Amino acid sequence: MTGTRTDHIVSVRDLAIGHQREQAILSRINLTVDRGEMVALIGRNGSGKTTLLKSMIGLLAPVGGICLLDGRPLEEFSLPQRARQVSFVSSQLVQLPSLTVEELVSLGRMPYTGWTGRLSAQDRMLVSRALAEVQMEAFSARKLDCLSDGERQRALIARAFVQDTSLMVLDEPTAFLDIPNTFDLIRLLRRFVEAGRSIVYSTHDLETALQCADKLWVIHNREILEGAPEDLGLSGLFSELFSSSGVLYNTDTGRFLVPGRPRGKISLEGDRGEPGKWTRSALERLGFQISEKQALKVRIESTADGLFWTCTGRNGTMRFDTLHSLARFLIHD
């Protein structure tokens, strides 16, 4: 069977994944990845995220269905051909302590150099560029066992960049990164997408995915729901996902909230800009429901001396110069 070029770099049809057809983790999967699209795969531990990623690019054999890469069945590609189309970054950190960062990244050129691994000037330029893009050029001569987990993850992503594929698949790429480096990496992946390439990555960081992904695949009740973050938000999916865990999804802010025990209603008055947003966030986190015309109320005051919060309740009015001091008063009053 010979396929033709389509708008989908990946298309899976009636896919079933797992180890045995009778015990498939997920089945009847129909998903697509468009060219120049970032897809985030969301699901709980053990839901089949890694198995799905590996199955759709041929690293694991599916137990049913078909996977198309660039309109052609995966089995039509030889291993070198597939390696020029797809790069993969595993969630398991590489255990090759004697390799340097530059040597690891250079392995990404193997689909083009063959097993000799002899790099041309062009290959070396691509390796240097990839190291610079993940901010690891200063670590090029360092051994892998001298790196932090996050640094090793960046090196693996540089190896995937230098492989120069039209599709990059990453399993939990931000698992070992702090918050600033997580957003740096997502911005870097977005540049890869803006150059016309495609990315599929699994993550537990739903809030970041909501902000950055073009499309989500959400594993829920042994099915995969597909759509733009906003479409899935409109469907009520995110509220349903956490309905049994006590986590609330705020449709106004697009944020998740773990509220404290219910503490009743409170009014919020005053500045509705940035101070208002953070004050509302603090009150909701404490377990208050914000409502108008309540006996207990907080007012934000912006003065020449800075921000202040006045709280009026049954014990009179108190003034605070930080949200922390206001919060401590509210939960102990």
SS (H, E, C) 113-169: HCCCCCCCHHHHHHHHHHHHHCCCHHHCCCEHHHCCHHHHHHHHHHHHHHCCCCEEE
Phi, psi for 42 (deg, rounded to 5):
-115, 140
Q: How far is CA 87 from CA 34, 197, 200, 320, in A?
A: 16, 11, 11, 54
Q: Residue 81 is encoded by which pair of tokens?
A: 């051909």
Task: Pick the closest to residue 57 from 42, 47, 49, 68 (CA basis).
Answer: 68
CB 298 within 8 A of CB 275: no
Which domains, and CATH codes, for the chain? 8-250 (3.40.50.300), 265-332 (3.40.30)
Whether the per-residue pLDDT at 152 is higher than 80: the answer is yes
Task: Kindly list the strands in the beta sheet with 8-17, ordered across the sheet, starting from the edge strand earlier in the chain.
Answer: 26-34, 8-17, 64-69, 72-73
Task: Pick the closest to residue 92 from 176, 217, 186, 168 (CA basis).
Answer: 176
Please give the pLDDT value at position 241.
74
Task: Pick the closest to residue 107 from 90, 92, 121, 87 (CA basis).
Answer: 87
**What HEC string does 285-312 produce?**
HHCCEECCCCCCEEEEEEECCEEEEEEE
Share of the chain above pLDDT 90, in %: 49
Most confident of 63-77, 226-240, 263-277: 63-77
Please give the pLDDT value at position 325.
93
Please give the pLDDT value at position 1.
38
Whether the per-residue pLDDT at 77 is higher than 60: the answer is yes
Please give the pLDDT value at position 183.
83
CB 123 within 8 A of CB 106: yes
Please give the pLDDT value at position 317.
94
Share of the chain above pLDDT 70, in %: 90
Lowest mean pLDDT, pick from 11-25, 51-65, 151-165 = 11-25
CB 300 within 8 A of CB 279: yes
Q: How far apart are CA 67 and CA 15, in angstroms?
A: 7
| Residues found in the chain | 333
Residue 3: pLDDT band (50, 70, 90) is very low
User: What is the pLDDT of the chain when averaged over all its residues?
Assistant: 86
Residue type, 20: Q
Residue 91 burial (C-beta neighbours within 10 Å; 0-12, 13-18, 19+): middle
Please give the pLDDT value at position 133.
87
Whether the per-residue pLDDT at 57 is higher than 90: the answer is yes
Name the residue with tokens 């051994």: 143
Name the residue with tokens 């390696």: 83
What is the rounded average pLDDT of the residues 286-294? 90
Whether the per-residue pLDDT at 185 is higher than 50: the answer is yes
Lowest mean pLDDT, pick from 14-18, 44-48, 54-58 = 44-48
H or E stretch at 248: strand 248-250
Whether the per-residue pLDDT at 19 is higher than 90: the answer is no
Task: Pick the closest to residue 152 from 87, 99, 191, 111 (CA basis).
Answer: 99
Residue 248: pLDDT band (50, 70, 90) is low
Whether the per-residue pLDDT at 85 is higher than 90: the answer is yes
